[in-house]
């Protein structure tokens, strides 16, 4: 009787091994589930990024406001008859001027913007 119980226990363990550690076992399924979750998260992030870029492209195609905003912030351009004022936070040193300041008695030259 003891021999039969030992054989049945061994067979039970042999049957359980592929269920837990085999190619389609529970541990592999849990690992694949984590990979699917990570892929879904990455896909959602990329979809949000694509939607943002799509709306930006649409703004650039149809409106001039987005083009003007980019020209101002990225290229530092100003419109005609505008004065550029830069406010620095307290405690920061003023940047050195590349051009000598014009005396106050002389009128300032008009600001040109390049296309």
Structure confidence by residue, pLDDT tens digits, 21-61: 777 778 888 889 999 999 999 999 999 999 999 988 888 78
Band of residue 84 on the pLDDT scale cut at 50, 70, 90? confident
Band of residue 99 on the pLDDT scale cut at 50, 70, 90? low
Q: Residue 2: pLDDT above 70?
A: yes
Asked if 110 and 77 count as a contact pair (C-beta separation under 8 A), the reply is no
The most confident of the ranges 34-48, 65-79, 86-100 is 34-48
Largest CA distance in the chain: 116
Q: How far is CA 102 from the centre of its chain?
A: 44
What integer best gives the mean pLDDT of the chain?
81
């Amino acid at each position: 009787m003891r021999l039969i119980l030992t054989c049945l226990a061994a067979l039970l363990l042999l049957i359980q091994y592929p269920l837990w550690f085999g190619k389609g076992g529970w541990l592999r399924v849990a690992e694949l589930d984590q990979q699917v979750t990570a892929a879904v998260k990455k896909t959602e992030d990329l979809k949000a990024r694509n939607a943002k870029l799509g709306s930006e492209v649409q703004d650039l195609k149809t409106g001039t406001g987005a083009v003007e905003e980019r020209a101002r912030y990225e290229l530092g351009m100003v419109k005609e008859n505008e004065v550029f004022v830069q406010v620095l936070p307290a405690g920061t040193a003023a940047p050195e001027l590349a051009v000598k300041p014009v005396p106050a008695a002389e009128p300032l030259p008009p600001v040109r913007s390049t296309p």
